[in-house]
Amino acid sequence: MTDSTRNTILTNISNVISGITSIKTVVCSNGNVNIETYKSASLPLVQIIFNREAPLYETSHHALWEISFELTCYVLGDIGDTDSVENIVKDIKNAIGENQTMNQTCIITEIASVNIVGDFPLWRVIFDMRSKYEKDVADA
């Protein structure tokens, strides 16, 4: 594998999230999207930001690498409306859980944590994500 693995994994994660019917928009970006430029019809909107890549162990020829990335879902909801946020969490968990190899581009993709933050009426559901994959050191 080459360094393009990272992009391939992110692309596949983007595709997996795009397949969730309750998600309207998926954006891969290097930073937070300017959410106030989007219309409410674009939400729930998922933003995927690559965070960090690190080797977990190395031998002379192979290494297991881990990329971490942040998946943020912007959701509109009323003050007392917890169902819409909880359903999004469930849908994303299910989609990741059903395809942890991201179409065979990594060994496993895990959700390290889920945080819900924001102010009425815009909530952000932030998934801290990790994908592990093998990469030949010679190609690194």
Partner 1 sequence: MDRQKQEIFGDYKYPLAFINDSSESRTYVLSDCIKVEWTVVIVAYNLAGDTPSTVLNSLISIVKSGVESDITLGGNAYNTKIIRIDTDEGFAYPNCMALFTVVISYMSED
For binding to partner 1 (CB under 8 A), which residues are involved? 35-40, 42-43, 76, 79, 120-122
Minimum CB–partner distance for residue 127 and partner 1 (Å): 21
Between 37 and 104, name the residue whose CB sits nearer to partner 1: 37
Minimum CB–partner distance for residue 14 and partner 1 (Å): 22
Minimum CB–partner distance for residue 124 and partner 1 (Å): 12
Q: What are phi and psi of 58, to 5 degrees?
A: -135, 145
CA 50 to chain centroid, in Å, comes to: 9
Per-residue DSSP letters for 16-66?
HHHT-TT--EEEEESS---GGGS-GGG-SEEEEEEEEEEEEEE-SSEEEEE
Burial 3-21 (b: 16+ CB within 10 A, else e): eebbebbbbbbbebbeebe
Minimum CB–partner distance for residue 41 and partner 1 (Å): 8
Whole-angstrom Cα distance, residue 19 to residue 13? 10
Between 27 and 63, name the residue whose CB sits nearer to partner 1: 27
Between 63 and 76, name the residue whose CB sits nearer to partner 1: 76
Between 76 and 114, name the residue whose CB sits nearer to partner 1: 76
Between 124 and 132, name the residue whose CB sits nearer to partner 1: 124
Minimum CB–partner distance for residue 45 and partner 1 (Å): 10
